[in-house]
Amino acid sequence: MNATESKNAFSYEDTLSFENAIGFENKYLYEQDPAFSPEMNRKKAIEVKDLNLWYGGNQALKKIYLDIPKNKIFSLIGPSGCGKSTFLRTMNRMNDMISNCRIEGKVCVDGENIYGKGIDVTGLRKRVGMVFQKANPFPMSIYENIAYGPKIHGVSKKEIPGIVEESLRCAALWDEVKDRLKEPALSLSGGQQQRLCIARTLAVKPEVILFDEPCSALDPISTGKIEELMAELKKDYTIVIVTHNMHQAARISDCAAFFLSGELIETGKTAQIFENPQDKRTEGYITGRFG
């Protein structure tokens, strides 16, 4: 399907909102790329519109428009301090816990603005899970770590063992821990702990999983395992990942967005961003990293 066809197939409003959403400067990128046709636009998991965020008087995110497609891996790249983590955390409202943080604009998950009135934040966080940079299993047993989420969301006791096993299997950890579920989670290796955290997130059955530099503390083998796992997970989940590792972003993600000092500079298919960046700054960052 090419761009003209897809334009014909959808109403004018559809196209307009799509153009707004991606920002005009990036429009041509999408038009050349069937993966970003308006049809694709309909399958978006998250829509960010005119998002601005301040920490006190310091603006950390400036006028962000971004769509995140369903069942894809979306990577956020950019230099340290450019606002990647901040942006990621707006998507499950983790910034609410920071007292001097102020947010304007819209972030829609499944079409619903999560900063709108009457939003149930705990319900939102159940739908949009998060895995952190440093593996942070609770100081409890492996089993209890996974069971924690379902328990607080009122899943009946009978179902929990099944959920625990399923989540651990999904996170490719079951075979390694099935005989030691009662042992403390902190006795696992770093890579296993990170997969445990992924399993813990899966246990509440989210739609979207946010990863904030999940492999930065891991060795290449554990990293490989987690990357494989993500590729597997994207069949059922939408994945957004912040990474400093350009190779990783190029390897695993379908789409990418480049941030620089709080602004979204460029977004598109990963191959496009890495092989043929449209913005000088993106090119500079990527080539700088590759040497």
What residue ranges bind another protein (CB under 8 A)? 92, 94, 97, 122-126, 129-130, 132, 134, 136-141, 148-149, 151-153, 184, 186-187, 197, 200-201, 204
| Closest to 145 measured CA to CA, from 154, 153, 136 | 136
Instruction: Say which entry of ligand ATP, Mg ion, another protein, none residue 149 contacts (CB below 5 to 8 A, set by partner kind).
Output: another protein
From the CB of 123, what's the least distance to another protein, in Å?
7
Binding mask 8-47 for ligand ATP (x = CB under 6 A): ----------------------------------------
Residues forming the site for Mg ion (CB under 5 A): 85
60 binds ligand ATP (CB under 6 A): yes
**For ligand ATP, which is the closer residue by CB, 41 or 223?**
223
* Segment lying near ligand ATP (by CB under 6 A), choices 62-70, 77-85, 124-132, 136-144: 77-85
Residue in 84, 127, 225, 269 binding ligand ATP, rule: CB under 6 A: 84
Residues near 228 by beta carbon (within 8 Å), at least 6 away in sequence:
172
From the CB of 95, what's the least distance to Mg ion, in Å?
13
User: Could you identify the residue written with the tokens 């990036």?
Assistant: 26
132 binds ligand ATP (CB under 6 A): no
83 binds ligand ATP (CB under 6 A): yes
86 binds ligand ATP (CB under 6 A): yes
Q: Rounded to whole angstroms, how far apart are CA atoms 77 and 264?
A: 10
Size of the site for ligand ATP (CB under 6 A): 11
Q: Rounded to whole angstroms, how far apart are CA atoms 15 and 169?
A: 41
Residues near 149 by beta carbon (within 8 Å), at least 6 away in sequence:
126, 200, 201, 203, 204
82 binds ligand ATP (CB under 6 A): yes
User: Could you identify the residue written with the tokens 């492999």?
Assistant: 215
Q: Which residue is nearest to Mg ion (CB)?
A: 85
Sign of the CA dihedral 14, 19, 22, 28? positive
Residue 243 CA to chain centroid, in angstroms? 11
* Residue 200 Cα distances to 85, 129, 147, 192, 290, angstroms: 20, 9, 8, 12, 35
Q: Hey, is 33 helix, strand or coil?
A: coil
Interacting residues with ligand ATP (CB under 6 A): 55, 60, 78, 80-86, 98
